[in-house]
């Protein structure tokens, strides 16, 4: 029977291709990497954008659709072209916040789904080992979703939320739990496979082999899709950096207020 742990931990490795700190979003895999550093605290919702220095109540920049832009205490009247650029910038920042959260949930799904297929096929859906795995998987996924919920669809960058929730909770707390569950479940899968062999359960063993192959193919396919999404996020952050330069040219009052520094390697 195919080993389960290697491709499960490959999924966990994919989960680590997107990493977070209070002021940075970093993406890396296969020798390629990119990093976006936030120079200020940014809060972005479906129709607004606010930029602050740390601990400042008054925003440095405040934009509300369709044309309300304030830089410090000065309100600006935007032309149609300036409105279009500001709207594009705000939308891309908002989508980046959404995608960071969705990638974290998708990575958890990739890490757990393959094991669930193999264990269910071998032990059966009503076996205590299967029920334990499915219960724990559901708890972990629900916890990830709860941690990443954003009231009002509002996202923050360069704030303690990024470091506290994404870095500490997901990487330091949940990844070890997923790894421990994977190790326990892989041992159960091996036990059920041996039991099938010694009790003459050839059909069960064959079914388990097929399930392991299906799980491996599923994990590989979803891991590749996850990496593609990470690459797309990287490209979007690079586009944001370029768009910010265009904004500075189009709206001189924004000059000197750099939000994003982007770096790509590989």
Whether the predicted pLDDT of 10 surpasses 70: no
- Please tell me the predicted confidence (pLDDT) of residue 196: 62
Mean local confidence (pLDDT), 114-138: 81
Residue 252: CB atoms within 10 A of its CB come to 9
DSSP-derived 3-state class of residue 159: coil
Kindly indicate the confidence band of residue 244, based on its pLDDT and cuts at 50, 70 and 90. very high
The model's pLDDT over 138-164, given as tens digits with 9 standing for 90+, comes to 888 888 777 777 788 888 877 655 555
Whether the predicted pLDDT of 7 surpasses 50: no
Query: Cα–Cα distance between 188 and 132 in angstroms, integer?
Result: 11
Contacts 24+ apart (CB under 8 A), 133-136: 133/181, 133/185, 133/188, 136/181
Please name the residue that has the structure tokens 């899968």: 189
Whether the predicted pLDDT of 167 surpasses 80: no
Query: Cα–Cα distance between 6 and 4 in angstroms, integer?
Result: 6
DSSP-derived 3-state class of residue 53: coil
Query: Cα–Cα distance between 108 and 237 in angstroms, integer?
Result: 23
Query: Cα–Cα distance between 19 and 123 in angstroms, integer?
Result: 35
Whether the predicted pLDDT of 137 surpasses 80: yes
User: What are the structure tokens assigned to 172, written together?
Assistant: 């330091």
Q: Strands across the sheet with 260-265, in order? A: 18-21, 24-29, 32-38, 260-265
Whether the predicted pLDDT of 193 surpasses 60: yes
The model's pLDDT over 76-92, given as tens digits with 9 standing for 90+, comes to 989 999 999 999 999 99
Mean local confidence (pLDDT), 28-32: 66
- pTM score: 0.74
Return the sign of the alpha-carbon dihedral for residues 205, 207, 210, 214: negative
Whether the predicted pLDDT of 130 surpasses 60: yes
Query: Cα–Cα distance between 123 and 205 in angstroms, integer?
Result: 11
CB 181 within 8 A of CB 140: yes
User: What are the structure tokens assigned to 41, written together?
Assistant: 């605290």
- Please tell me the predicted confidence (pLDDT) of residue 78: 93
User: What are the structure tokens assigned to 199, written together?
Assistant: 């009790």
């Amino acid at each position: 029977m195919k080993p389960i742990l290697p491709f499960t931990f490959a999924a966990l490795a994919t989960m680590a291709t997107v990493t977070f700190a209070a002021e940075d979003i970093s993406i890396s895999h296969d020798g390629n990497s990119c990093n976006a550093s936030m120079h200020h605290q940014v809060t972005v919702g479906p129709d607004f954008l606010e930029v602050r220095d740390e601990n400042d109540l008054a925003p440095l920049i405040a934009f509300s659709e369709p044309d309300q832009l304030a830089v410090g205490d000065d309100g600006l009247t935007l032309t149609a072209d300036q409105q279009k650029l500001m709207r594009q910038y705000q939308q891309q920042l908002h989508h980046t916040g959404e995608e960071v959260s969705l990638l974290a949930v998708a990575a958890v799904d990739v890490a757990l789904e393959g094991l669930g297929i193999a264990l269910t096929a071998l032990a059966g859906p009503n076996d205590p080992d299967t029920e334990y795995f499915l219960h724990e998987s559901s708890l972990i996924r629900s916890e990830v979703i709860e941690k990443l919920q954003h009231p009002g669809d509002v996202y923050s960058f360069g704030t303690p939320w990024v470091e506290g929730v994404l870095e500490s909770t997901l990487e330091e707390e949940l990844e070890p739990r997923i790894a421990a569950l994977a190790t326990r479940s892989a041992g159960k899968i091996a036990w059920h496979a041996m039991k099938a062999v010694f009790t003459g359960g050839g059909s069960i063993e064959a079914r388990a082999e097929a399930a392991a192959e299906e799980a491996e193919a599923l994990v590989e396919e979803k891991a590749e899709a996850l990496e593609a999404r990470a690459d797309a996020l990287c490209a979007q952050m690079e586009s944001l950096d370029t768009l910010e330069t265009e904004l500075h040219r189009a709206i001189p009052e924004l000059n000197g207020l750099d939000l994003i520094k982007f770096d790509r390697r590989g």
